[in-house]
Structure 1
Amino acid sequence: MYSLFNPKNMPLTPFLFFTGKGGVGKTSTACATAVALADQGKSVLLVSTDPASNLQDVLEVALTNEPMAIPGVPNLSACNIDPEESARAYKENVVGPYRGKLPDAVLATMEEQLSGACTVEIAAFDEFSHLLADETILDQFDHVLFDTAPTGHTLRLLQLPTAWSGFLEESTHGASCLGPLAGLEGKKEMYAKAVASLSDREKTTLLLIARSDNSSLLEADRASGELKEIGIRNQLLIVNGLLQTHQPEDAVSTAFYSRQRQALQETPEALKQVMTYALPFVSYSLTGVENLRHLFSSYAMTTFEVEDTTEEALALPGLNQVIEDFSEKNTRVIFTMGKGGGGKTSIASAIAVGLSEKGHRVHLTTTDLAAHLAYTFAGSETRDNLSISSINPQIEVERYKQTVLANAGNGLSDEELAYLQEDLESPCTEEIALFQAFAAVVEKSENEIVVIDTAPTGHTLLLLDSTEAYHKEMSRSTGDVPENVKKLLPRLRNPQETGVVIVTLAEATPVLEAARLQEDLKRAQIAPKWWVINQSLYATETTDPVLRGRASSEKKWITKVNEELAAKCAVIPWLQEEKIGYTQLKEFIL
């Protein structure tokens, strides 16, 4: 279908950026590529600025923010820059001068605006801009590989003149997670050089990493389009984890193979225009230099793929226990949360159906634009117990943007207005807009259990909270918080009323990102009740040697979630078909 990606057989630019949503294999692909290039005699620097990076786990060596030689790989150096630590210093640089001069509520709003993912990304960009802008760096290294890449939103923001003006110190529209960007002061020239290097086809290649599933390919398409808009057009797509063959007698293997091919057929048209390669789904864990070398040299089965059958199997409850728990405790608001691609919509739907089957009146609301939920549930005999609504993210976000622009845009110059408009493209804008829509649904459904597919992060909840505090004190903020949101915020903090379910996969990056999400929620005084590990091959009875080998590697992450992270943990096996519709979803509770 696609040629296999192999850095030994293709010319590559000096700067290589690996990007993609969490869990697609950015780090392992970047590490394997770095090792392959170094083995060819190239001098290579590998840099991670991903807050959920497991670079040291993949290379099996402790790393710092200073480049260090990797044992067993002559010519390869690596460093693991901590963007969250950089973000903390960055935040203090911005907020510190105002301590004791501005009211506490104002400082709280500024601090929370600077606590989001966008600020971490700005801080990460600040770190690797030094490498991109340093003209002597390519005298030292033939290739510099970056494990993660900035979004088009961040780069567009930094190219706006207002990002460097005093306007940011005074802006109080309250919509953004970026907040005042005074920390950028004095770095405009360096950032301009960095952006120029990113756009230079002779210098930089963007490698979009995706899995063969719809949500991952859609994210790659979005990132590709955003970055093309600002001139980063030298792109490659790598479809990672593509099962090369299957065993017809193994139902799991056959379904896995077929679903991957179906997803590839549905690749967005614009993404089909990007040169595409594949990497195989392998049975072993991509950790350690030898395993990384094996990825590009041989795809045969090896001894480290064999599962240790002497170990006792993990026994964890299924989703039916999650539903039983919420039913017994009469939990009134239930959120499913987690990174895209983990199956939040299916889990939310199954919980709603399960509670409906137990006699509860349930309202399920989702941001899933594939309206198959309402369509499939239509005409069901038990529909009286279950109502469904679908919230259109595009409509809600656009409505929210227009409200903020109408309130905050008056009197701004063209440059300031352009900054505000780009600021509203931040991830928090969508979270706030959708949360307001969810709050309206909850308010109308006082006599039902409300199951909500997706939820805002703890950062966004605190941002809404601090905006309200700011509004009370200053009475001039334009980031007004609606009444139904004010009522819902404390309700979410009440464990007697609200249950949060974190949905993840049994892989390194999804688990680490979910752990960060949980800490974020705890900052907002919300403690998740359940973790659900979805799509687990470990929980299947597959005999396919490749899938069985990967299943064995999941055990480490299932154990970590169960013993270290989750108050309660459930596991759902990888399913041969997607459960769509009331009747099929009932199978989760059997």
Structure 2
Amino acid sequence: MYPSFSPNHIQTQFLFLTGKGGVGKTSTACATAVALADSGKKVLLISTDPASNLQDVFGIELTSTPKAIPSIENLFASNIDPEASAKAYRESVVGPYRDKFPEAVIATMEEQLSGACTVEIAAFDEFTGFLTNSEVVNQYNHIIFDTAPTGHTLRLLQLPTAWKGFLEESTHGASCLGPLSGLADKKDLYSSAVSALSDAAKTTLILVTRPDVSALLEADRASQELKEIGIKNQMLIINGLLQHYIETDEISSAFYHRQRDSLKRMPDNLKEIITYSLPYVSYSLTGVENLRNLFKPYKPSTTLDMENPSVNLPGLKAVIEDFSANGTKLIFTMGKGGVGKTTVASAIAVGLVEKGHRVHLTTTDPAAHLEYQFQSNSFNQNLTISSINPKVEVEKYKAEVLSRVSNDLDEAGLAYLKEDLESPCTEEIAVFQAFAEVVAKSENEIVVIDTAPTGHTLLLLDASESYSKEIERSTGKVPESARKLLPQIRNPKETSVVIVTLAEATPVLEASRLQDDLRRASINPKWWVINQSLSATNTNDPILKGKAIAEQGWIQEVNENKAEKCAIIPWLLEEKVGYDKLKDYIN
């Protein structure tokens, strides 16, 4: 279908890999680095991914200083901790104001600098030297970056107002306020870094995706966003493509055909990009030999007498029974894109209706035509559904913020504010406000909300409210409905958060960070749901069964170390859409 990816396809010195969590960026970056080093090239591999497992892959402790990998001549690696970088960066920005501003103002500044954009900028600050320092650049034939900056961050770097201490001058209530305010002395250095990224002779952007719809949509978004700022030398790698299937194995056949159906729905923009594939493999991509095998023809074990992994966790039915028995009134599902939040939220709603409760389900998935499907069914008289369109809510929120401050900002300041409002945090705030309006109108029913706000967003809303009382010129405002919802979310007798994940490294690590984020906001998730588990199936496909065995360690990690309570959902033969199909989760 697509030719296999080979490091021979790499022609530039700088490689940047990007893609949503769990698509295999780190393993692809590591395997590419090993192959290039094996061919005699001197290679530096740098990770800025908070979920990076470079240490596990190579079996060596790494820091931000490049270190030689003992078992591979010519390969050096560096693991930048963006969270630590962001913490140091926040203090460099906020520290000078601690004795000058009230405590509430300082708390707001710290929270505004706790978002994903700040982490990314701090990471960019760290690896800028690897792009612009000629002493470093001249040492290596290839420098590979595991995790590229987003288009939003790079556009911020190009806006002149970002370098003028914007944090000191405006508090508009948006999400990533002044993330560059502490870096004014690095404008020229950053400009050189962005130029190197945009130079097709120097840099290749590798978009890594899985053959599923959500990952392809994310790759398309990143591709277009980065093209807009001049990074046009792009390559697409479809990772984890099952090469063959066993006709007599229902799971194997369904898995194979679902991947092919997803690829048929690939966005037109991605179809224009040079595309390669990598196989779905059962073995863990750790250790040098396994990394070397990734680019070789894959021959799985044909042994089918392996014992099926045993999974002793309850299913989603236990989650629903718990909420029903305890009178939970507000339920959030949370997790990274592609793990199945919308489906789990819908199945929970249906399960509660089947237990006799009145339920309102609201989702931010504009492609989920659940309202039509549910309303056409005679069993859903106790279920109401609304669909919140994030694009509509974001535009409404941006218009509201701009209308409040447009008269107080010059043209450059307005341009900066508009870009600041393009951040992912802005969407969370806008959607949360829409959720709050739904909850405010709901009485005598359970509300199930697909996609919860992060702890950062909740703290930001709280901080904005405190800030607006503290400083008269502040325009940060929190609607009454959202203000009332904040304490309700923190009340475990009324509210429960369900974290949805997959039994893989990156989804679990990212879900763990989400949980830590929520705990900062005094919210403790009660249930974790491990979705789409091959361990919970009876597949005899040697590749899928090998992957099922590999899941066991992550299932154990979630159950024993992450979750207060844990449930598991098997990988299912078909996607469950519509009321009757969703009942399959609880039967």
TM-score range, shorter chain: over 0.9
**One-letter amino acid of the structure 2 residue matched with residue 296 of structure 1:** F
1:286-339 Cα offsets, whole Å, 9 max, x none, are: 111110001112311259x98974x97230000000000000001000000000
**One-letter amino acid of the structure 1 residue matched with residue 419 of structure 2:** E
**Residues in 2 aligned to 1:306 and 1:555: alpha-carbon distance in whole angstroms:** 18
Alignment correspondent of 1:360: 357
Alignment correspondent of 1:452: 449
- What SS does structure 1 have at the residue aligned with 2:401? helix
1:444-470 Cα offsets, whole Å, 9 max, x none, are: 012110000001100000000000011
Range moving further from structure 2, 416-425 or 406-415? 406-415
**Is 1:330 matched with 2:348?**
no
1:99-120 Cα offsets, whole Å, 9 max, x none, are: 1110111111100000111100
Alignment correspondent of 2:226: 227
Displacement of 1:417 in angstroms is: 0.4
Alignment correspondent of 1:511: 508
Displacement of 1:479 in angstroms is: 1.7
Alignment correspondent of 1:465: 462
Alignment correspondent of 1:64: 63
**One-letter amino acid of the structure 2 residue matched with residue 112 of structure 1:** E
**Residues in 1 aligned to 2:191 and 2:305: alpha-carbon distance in whole angstroms:** 51
1:491-550 Cα offsets, whole Å, 9 max, x none, are: 000000001000001000100000000000000000001000000111110000011111
Alignment correspondent of 2:531: 534
Alignment correspondent of 1:53: 52
Normalising by the residue count of structure 1, what TM-score does the alignment of the two structures yield?
0.98
**Is 1:102 matched with 2:92?**
no
**Residues in 1 aligned to 2:439 and 2:257: alpha-carbon distance in whole angstroms:** 39
Alignment correspondent of 2:566: 569
Q: Do the aligned partners of 1:327 and 1:355 also contact (CA within 8 Å) in 2?
A: yes
Distance 1:111 1:308, change over 3 A: farther
**Residues in 2 aligned to 1:569 and 1:385: alpha-carbon distance in whole angstroms:** 28
- What SS does structure 1 have at the residue aligned with 2:219? helix
Alignment correspondent of 1:159: 158
Displacement of 1:21 in angstroms is: 0.4
Alignment correspondent of 1:443: 440
Distance 1:437 1:312, change over 3 A: closer
Q: Do the aligned partners of 1:17 and 1:146 also contact (CA within 8 Å) in 2?
A: yes
1:355-390 Cα offsets, whole Å, 9 max, x none, are: 000000000000111142112112211221000000
1:378-417 Cα offsets, whole Å, 9 max, x none, are: 2211221000000010000000000000012212111110
Displacement of 1:193 in angstroms is: 0.6
Aligned residues: 587
Alignment correspondent of 2:393: 396
- What SS does structure 2 have at the residue aligned with 1:187? helix
Q: Do the aligned partners of 1:210 and 1:238 also contact (CA within 8 Å) in 2?
A: yes
Q: Do the aligned partners of 1:307 and 1:548 also contact (CA within 8 Å) in 2?
A: no
Q: 1:383 aligns with which of 368, 380, 383?
A: 380
**Residues in 1 aligned to 2:179 and 2:62: alpha-carbon distance in whole angstroms:** 32
Alignment correspondent of 1:79: 78
Alignment correspondent of 2:584: 587
Q: Do the aligned partners of 1:255 and 1:577 also contact (CA within 8 Å) in 2?
A: yes
Distance 1:298 1:371, change over 3 A: closer
Alignment of 1:15-30 (within 5 A): 15-30=14-29
Moved over 3 A (4+): 305-309
**Residues in 2 aligned to 1:302 and 1:379: alpha-carbon distance in whole angstroms:** 47
Alignment correspondent of 1:89: 88
| Structure 1: 5+ residue stretches without partners | none
Alignment correspondent of 1:499: 496
Q: Do the aligned partners of 2:118 and 2:179 also contact (CA within 8 Å) in 1?
A: no
Alignment correspondent of 1:490: 487
**Residues in 1 aligned to 2:466 and 2:335: alpha-carbon distance in whole angstroms:** 28
Q: Do the aligned partners of 1:461 and 1:489 also contact (CA within 8 Å) in 2?
A: yes
Alignment correspondent of 2:472: 475
**Is 1:265 matched with 2:279?**
no
Alignment correspondent of 1:320: 317
**Residues in 2 aligned to 1:312 and 1:422: alpha-carbon distance in whole angstroms:** 49
Q: Do the aligned partners of 1:211 and 1:242 also contact (CA within 8 Å) in 2?
A: yes
1:113-133 Cα offsets, whole Å, 9 max, x none, are: 001111000000001111111
Q: Do the aligned partners of 2:166 and 2:178 also contact (CA within 8 Å) in 1?
A: no
**Residues in 2 aligned to 1:282 and 1:355: alpha-carbon distance in whole angstroms:** 38
Alignment of 1:290-329 (within 5 A): 290-301=289-300, 309=307, 313-329=310-326
| Structure 2: 5+ residue stretches without partners | none
**Residues in 2 aligned to 1:457 and 1:418: alpha-carbon distance in whole angstroms:** 27
**Is 1:215 matched with 2:218?**
no
**Residues in 1 aligned to 2:281 and 2:309: alpha-carbon distance in whole angstroms:** 24
Distance 1:514 1:177, change over 3 A: same
**Is 1:414 matched with 2:434?**
no
Q: Do the aligned partners of 2:165 and 2:184 also contact (CA within 8 Å) in 1?
A: no
Displacement of 1:180 in angstroms is: 4.8
